Amino acid sequence: MDERTALGLVGDRLPAAGDDAAVVDGQVLTTDMLHDRTDFPAGTTRYTAGWRAVGASLSDVAAMGADATAAVAVYAAPAFDETELADFLDGASDVCEAVGAEYVGGDLDGHQEFTVATTALGETDDPVLRSGATPGDAVCVTGTLGRSGAALRLFERGDRERDDGERSEGDKRGETERSNADRSDRERANDLFQFEPRVAAGRALAEHATAMMDSSDGLARSLHQLAEASDCGFAVESPLPIDEAVDEVATDPDDRLELGAFFGEDFELVCTVPSEAFPAVRDRSPVAITRIGTVVESDITLDGDLLPDRGFTHGE
């Protein structure tokens, strides 16, 4: 059973689990698990891991149009290193502070692989679900796409340059230059990984949004999930708001689109709003919101061509 089939089984058994977060008496509740093998490339700092892990759950709160209130995390590792743990706590606390929430602790456990399980809480009297998109609505996305894909390329480039430096026994100046390049790539990759959960944008959108989710699985897959929940289609048009960092690492236009539309893990909001409300929503949002298309009766297309249902999948 793959991840999507498993999620379908959970959704069939637990209807409240069908959106980015569950809603219970005005509270929204969500949980996520991240671990080394699939979520933290070599070079990811513990500060970034804390920020990103807790931020992933806060992003689900944002996707419901809710205010974020608090988060907790389970931190599991082969050993407890004081500096690594302190850095993790700083990252987790800082991402909460960035969205007006509080990091209030969690649990510690031993594990053969560094693993984090996070839970975030929020509040709203009128959650935005995935199921309300209507033909004629504008399809929108916050921020820019492809940051995480670009970060992964920079992590990989830094790792290769480090390995080349370790193998080389040439002049010391060359080794220093490789070390500086490695550090620069990794620092930039960590910066890209420290996304800001779109809680404030979600609140700005909540009054008008007819459907919304975050783009953790990628733009293309998010559109397919929204279409399934709302029984509709989307006609999306270029240009997509792809982050400038992608242009540095992409090998060609197809690779640029791959990183921007399919890679995932960007944690932007993908939503639909009545077309006439889009200007007001755009003006109220604290981050850029781009209209990328229109809700239609069926099919999901990009510039008239069918957009494949591909994106991030855990375990791949």
Rg over CA atoms, the chain:
20
In 10 A of CB 231, how many CB atoms?
Answer: 10
- Confidence at 4, pLDDT banded by 50, 70, 90: low
pLDDT higher than 80, residue 171: no
- How far apart CA 48 and CA 172 sit, in angstroms, is 31
Tokens of 92: 């987790």
- pLDDT reported for residue 314: 52
* Contact present, 59 and 201 (Cβ < 8 Å): no
Please tell me the pTM assigned to this model.
0.90
Tokens of 49: 């891991």
pLDDT in tens, 101-147: 999 999 999 999 999 999 999 999 999 999 999 999 999 999 999 99
**Run of H or E residues at 107:** strand 102-110
Task: Compute, in degrees rounded to 10, the torsion defined by CA atoms 286, 49, 191, 40.
Answer: -120
pLDDT in tens, 68-104: 999 999 999 999 999 999 999 999 999 999 999 999 9
